[in-house]
Amino acid sequence: MICRLLALIAFALAPAVHAAASTSAFDQRVAAIRAEIMVDPARALTDAEKLRAAPHDGATQGHELATADWLRAEALLSQQKPGQALAIIHSALDNLRGAPGDFAIKGELILARAGAATAQGRVQDALQDNQIAYRLFVRAGDARGQAKALLVIGTLYSDAGDYATALRYFDQSIEAYSSDTALRLSAVNNRANALSQLRRFPEAVAAYEKALTYVRGTPNESLILRNLARAQAEAARFEPARTSLDRAFALSSPGVASGDLPALYGVAAFIAFHQHRLDEAETWISRALQQAIATDPETQRDLHHTAYDIFRARGDNSKALAELEAFRKLDDEQKAVAASATAALMNARFNFTNQELRINNLRNQQAATEARFRFRMLLGLFSAVAVVSTLLLIGFLSIRRSRNQVRAANATLRTTNVALEKALAAKTEFLATTSHEIRTPLNGILGMTQVILAGRQLDPTLRSRIELVHGAGETMKALVDDILDVAKMETGELRIQTGEMDLKRLLEDAVTVWTGQAETKRIGIEFDLDHCPGKIVADEVRLRQIIFNLMSNAIKFTDRGQVRLAAFAETDDETGAERLVVRVADSGIGIPADRLEEIFESFRQVDGGVTRRHGGTGLGLAICRSLARAMGGDVAVDSTLGTGSTFTLALPLERVAAEAAIADRQAATSLGTAELLMIEPNPLGQGIMRALLTGECAGIQFVTDISSALEALQAGTIDHVIAEGSALGLDPAAAGELAAACGAAHARFTLLLREPGAELIGEFAAHGVAHVVSKPISAPDLLSEMNRVYGNPVDCRTIAA
């Protein structure tokens, strides 16, 4: 009996992208047509067509035509004509192809395409389009659009009965944008609906109460009040429930559609029933049932359920059975719709790990078993009804028995469901805890073997044995890490933590790490990183994990020829978004065509015999794909048996603009052309250095502490940093951090220390500080010391290492 607020969603979805700032005549007409779509879509269509036919300014013509097309499509969608809407959307998108930017209108068109897909029951396409639209809105910086897309994705999951996932999207939608009341109302109300479905009634009550604050004085107030009353009653808060319901009744006569009255009667019956006022409950439910046909199937289903409860409590078995039958029929229909939607969503493989898919599969199988069981029960029930009519002559005993059977069967099903959920959760919990617990002692063992192996005096036989132990320990640790990752994926705890990173260096590292193994197997490693983006924003640890896994597999399954690693950026034709592509190709054993998808599932290997020889668990690719999807991308494979395989990782690409500028910058080649930055808190010291260095370099600036220096380095204009040791508190770690930052910014680093001993210099060197100048020093000596670092080309890595 939950009101879905579909109309509200439609209203909320009526886009307002360009409205806020609209002042031009065109924008005003767009705003007027948008408003019209809600009340008179046929007229809105005519007006949108006129808008399209009107003359357009050359510079904005493309945008204006696309906007008019989008309005036409929305008007057609409002008239339930998704086919016609789609034709317009496709041609509008074709027209925009190749046009740079304008992501907002592309996002709106794709969102409309998602709407058409939903109307045509193509849930999977709808989901994918919503995701594309979401990304376009991200690129356009359009938070409202993002919130809309997230909201629709949430409703898709709601329709599929996956309320927990739906809830996540509604929450994200609320977070993404909060300034649009209608949008926020839809999200908050849908969130409350999902909470109700999850039987988290106190939270649902709070959410409906919040929704209520947005609708005071509007026709929707009664709808929210009804939802609130129902949730309050479910939470056993009957008095507040009655108050909410009375308010809903008071508002319902003038403004509310007739279909809502039976729903209100239903809630009244529900409350009366739970307060044990059976006469009143029966009066309300009879009234509701008389008009039930005017409501939606979900409300009807709930009405029949309430009626069943009431008649059963009154001992009116024949009526109770009839209601139960009606309820079952509607419930089965709804479950079938939800199941097919769930299957479609799973096919979309959107943002979900294989493990989640597997759990969903299990749930689906469970639902199917449940449905079969229920069907059998229903058959039994029909027979029971037949028997009952015969036996009515001799009493109601059989009816009671069959009713008890239904109840018992339902109870069994519920218990089985709960047990299955519990078993899955317990398994995941067990995996996570055990692997975590194993890791701690394992790290101890590995640390100790490393210490033993570092000893020079070790007997060679003992060394080789310890090396074996160490190797086995490393393999075990990798396995435990994989299992921990799988457990995290199953519980949805896999987090992506993005930050700035050097992609090129990561890939070069990958090549370096695997070169030794490749040489041992006498295969070559080639790489093409000429067009590889440098600094990007990504999760470095997870990206490394994926690439190392693909490289490890490529070398593992290749006995001759070569492994090739390439990375480049490409632009999506449709969305204009940049994508990072990393390709690992090998000339190895290849994978049969019918196993290409299977290998991405956990514990799946093509050939047990071959892989036993090579080792491995069959978890690597499952993890790679889950990680890639969690980052908004995917891993795909192309392979020919006996010839080789190519694994392609594609991810949304976010470059670091400032870092890119630094990376492209040429380092200064002499002190004379260098921009200097000195950390010197003492004004007298600053004066001396300024007098000494002015004229010897391109420019000099002063900061008083390390954090200001790190900030100044970000700008990418500093060539050489000089730090007074005392300004860094003589702290080798702080100096090391500064040296690393200099390295990353292609700047040189000189540290001035007063009479340092060899030990102190060694400590700084251990933290990557390569150039220490000891004070006191004469002015000419200091200049020649500083010039000395320009003798060799700057190698940030050596300096920063």
User: Which residue ranges make up the site for ligand ADP (CB under 6 A)?
Assistant: 549, 553-554, 557, 586, 588-591, 599, 605-606, 611, 616-622, 645
Interacting residues of 529 by C-beta distance below 8 A, sequence separation 6+ = 504, 507, 508, 565, 566, 567
Min separation Cβ 615 and ligand ADP, Å:
7
Check residue 522 and report its DSSP letter. Answer: T
**Least distance in Å: CB of 178 to ligand ADP?**
42
Report the C-alpha gap between 600 and 175 in whole angstroms: 33
As measured in angstroms, the least distance from the Cβ of 524 to ligand ADP is 15
Give least dist CB 10 to ligand ADP, A: 45
Whose CA is closest to 707, among 682, 745, 685, 734? Answer: 734
> Between 449 and 645, whose beta carbon lies closer to ligand ADP?
645
Closest CA to 383 of 321, 301, 316: 321
In angstroms, the CA 535 to CA 345 distance is 35
Query: What is the three-class DSSP state of 644?
Result: strand
Q: Which of residues 159 and 482 has its CB atom nearest to ligand ADP in the complex?
A: 482
Helix (H, G, I), strand (E, B) or coil at 521: coil
- CB 484, min distance to ligand ADP, A: 15
Residue number with CB closer to ligand ADP (555 or 786):
555
Answer for the pair 378, 324: CB distance below 8 angstroms, yes or no: no
Asked if residues 197 and 234 have their Cβ atoms less than 8 Å apart, the reply is no
CB 258 within 8 A of CB 222: no
Task: Give min distance, CB of 635 to ligand ADP, in A.
Answer: 10
Q: Nearer to ligand ADP by C-beta: 360 or 558?
A: 558
292: tokens are 């039930």
Query: Is the Cβ of residue 388 or residue 483 nearer to ligand ADP in the bound state?
Result: 483
Q: How far is the CB of 488 from ligand ADP (least distance, A)?
A: 17
Question: Which CB sits closer to ligand ADP, 410 or 617?
Answer: 617
- 85, two tokens: 């809407």
Yes or no: say if 227 and 186 are a contact pair by the CB < 8 Å rule: no
Nearer to ligand ADP, 162 or 356 (CB): 356
Q: State how beta strands 772-775 and 748-754 pair.
A: parallel
**Token digits of residue 439:** 């890791």
Query: Which residue number places its CB atom closest to ligand ADP?
Result: 616
Q: Residue 611 CB, nearest distance to ligand ADP (Å)?
A: 4
Residue 584 CB, nearest approach to ligand ADP (Å): 8
* Nearest residue (CB) to ligand ADP, 232 versus 587: 587
Judge contact between 583 and 632, C-beta under 8 A: no
Bond preceding residue 240 cis, omega within 30 of 0: no
Sign of the CA dihedral running 142, 145, 151, 157 = negative
Q: Is the Cβ of residue 536 or residue 606 nearer to ligand ADP in the bound state?
A: 606
- DSSP sequence for 757-775: -HHHHHHHHHTT---EEEE
**What CA–CA distance (Å, rounded) separates 5 from 221?**
11
Tell me whether residue 563 or residue 700 sits nearer to ligand ADP (CB atom): 563
Q: How far is the CB of 353 from ligand ADP (least distance, A)?
A: 13
Cβ–Cβ < 8 Å for 354, 622? yes
Quote the least distance from Cβ 554 to ligand ADP, whole Å.
Answer: 5
Phi-psi region for residue 730, left (φ > 0), alpha (ψ -120 to 50) or beta? left
**CA 213 distance to own-chain centroid:** 30
Smallest separation (angstroms) from ligand ADP to the CB of 618: 4
The nearer residue to ligand ADP, 526 or 711, going by C-beta atoms, is 526
Cα–Cα distance, 767 to 738 (Å, whole number): 10
Nearer to ligand ADP (CB atom), residue 155 or residue 553: 553
Please tell me the distance from the alpha carbon of residue 373 to that of residue 417, in angstroms, as a whole number: 13
Residues 6+ apart with CB under 8 A from 441: none
The least CB distance from residue 106 to ligand ADP, in Å, is: 36
Closer residue to ligand ADP (CB): 115 or 588:
588
CB of 33 to ligand ADP, least distance (A): 53
* CB 487 to ligand ADP: min, Å: 16
Question: To the nearest whole angstrom, how small is the minimum distance from the Cβ of residue 468 to ligand ADP?
Answer: 21
Nearer to ligand ADP, 67 or 645 (CB): 645
CB of 517 to ligand ADP, least distance (A): 14
Q: Name the token pair of 240.
A: 């507040």
* Distance between CA atoms of residues 612 and 199, nearest Å: 48
- Strand partners of residue 581: 568, 650
Cα–Cα dist 111/103, whole Å: 12
Contact (Cβ atoms closer than 8 angstroms) between residue 232 and residue 240: yes
Q: Return the number of the residue (212 or 623) whose C-beta is nearest ligand ADP.
A: 623
Burial (CB count within 10 angstroms: exposed 0-12, middle 13-18, buried 19+), residue 112: buried
Backbone angles phi, psi at 534, to 5 degrees: -85, -90
Distance CA 11, CA 13 (A): 5
If the CB atoms of residues 108 and 586 are measured against ligand ADP, the closer one turns out to be: 586
Specify the 3-state DSSP secondary structure of 703: strand
What are the φ and ψ backbone dihedral angles of 679, each rounded to 5 degrees? -95, 110
Q: Shortest Cβ distance from residue 534 to ligand ADP (Å)?
A: 27
Instruction: Using the minimum distance from each CB to ligand ADP, give the nearer residue, 137 or 557.
Output: 557
Q: Where are the alpha helices (DSSP H) in 295-396?
A: 297-314, 317-348, 354-391
Residues present in the chain in total? 801
The torsion of the CA quartet 445, 446, 448, 450, rounded to 10 degrees, works out to: 160
User: For 607, left (φ over 0), alpha (ψ -120 to 50), or beta?
Assistant: beta
DSSP 19-65: TTT--SHHHHHHHHHHHHHHH-HHHHHHHHHHHHHS---TTTHHHHH
Q: Give me 625's structure tokens.
A: 């794909």
